[in-house]
Amino acid sequence: MSVKSNRYSNYLKSRFLSKKEKIFCIGCNKTGTTSLAQAMNKMGFHVAPQARGERLLKNYINNDLDSIISFVRRHGVFFQDVPFSLPEVFKHIDKAFPESKFILTIRDSSDVWYNSISKFHSKLFGGGNIPSKELLMNANYIYKGWIWDFMKVYGGLDHAPYDEESLKNFYNKYNEDVLSYFRDKPDKLLVVNLKDSNAISRLADFIGVSDTGLEEMPWANKT
């Protein structure tokens, strides 16, 4: 099958699944979530608009999970990053969409993840230095202060938004919570490190695609 026809086949599957089965990347931000979204898009799957999803951070903070569920019903088949990378969301999503599948993207270690997110945010919001709370509160991404709201959820402290111990503890606890929740539903969860040589084949098997058309995994937002 050609790459073009393979994409069309996956597109048709994506349209068919849109009302029932969804695919959620629930790995923490900076674990290859954008790269995975690019891969899914290249395979022809309808990727939900990320910026619209990220606007739901306030809803999450206010415990308005219904708005997140409503967003999923209206947009796409594949979802990633905020709000789907936030604690507890995957549990509500699983109950609302019981036929869906979940992908937990991980890094080699919490050290690698911490270095990635701190370097990325330093470049975007700190002029090359670790951003302060004040810089985050005044940063204009999605809405003014969005990134500070996000970092508070991820363990950022008032006096040290990128406290290494706090963020690494969040990362480890979040992943442990995901693994614990899906322990009795192993067929619903794929745990994958996108840099592994077998990442594409494992992804294809999990989502039921015979030919991805991908020679290698995309690498977005490299740090």
CA angle, 80 as apex, 204 and 14 as ends, to 5°? 50
DSSP 113-125: HHHHHHHHHHHHH
- Helix H or strand E encompassing 23: strand 23-25
Structural domains in the chain, CATH included, are 3-118+184-207 (3.40.50.300)
Percent of the chain residues topping a pLDDT of 90: 83
Asked if pLDDT for residue 126 goes beyond 60, the answer is yes
Asked if pLDDT for residue 1 goes beyond 70, the answer is no
Q: Which one of 7-11, 15-19, 66-70 scores highest in mean pLDDT? A: 66-70
The 10 Å CB-count burial string (b at 16+, else e) for 97-126 is: beebbbbbbbbeebebbbebbbeebbeebb
Going by pLDDT thresholds of 50, 70 and 90, the confidence category of residue 210 is: confident
| pLDDT top residue among 23 and 76 | 23
Percent of the chain residues topping a pLDDT of 70: 89
Asked if pLDDT for residue 146 goes beyond 80, the answer is yes
Quick one: which of 112, 92, 85, 143 has its CA closest to 223? 112
Q: What is the pTM of this model?
A: 0.91
Across the range 140-151, mean pLDDT stands at 98
Q: Tell me the per-residue pLDDT of 92-106, one tens digit each, with 9 for 90 and over.
A: 999 999 999 999 999
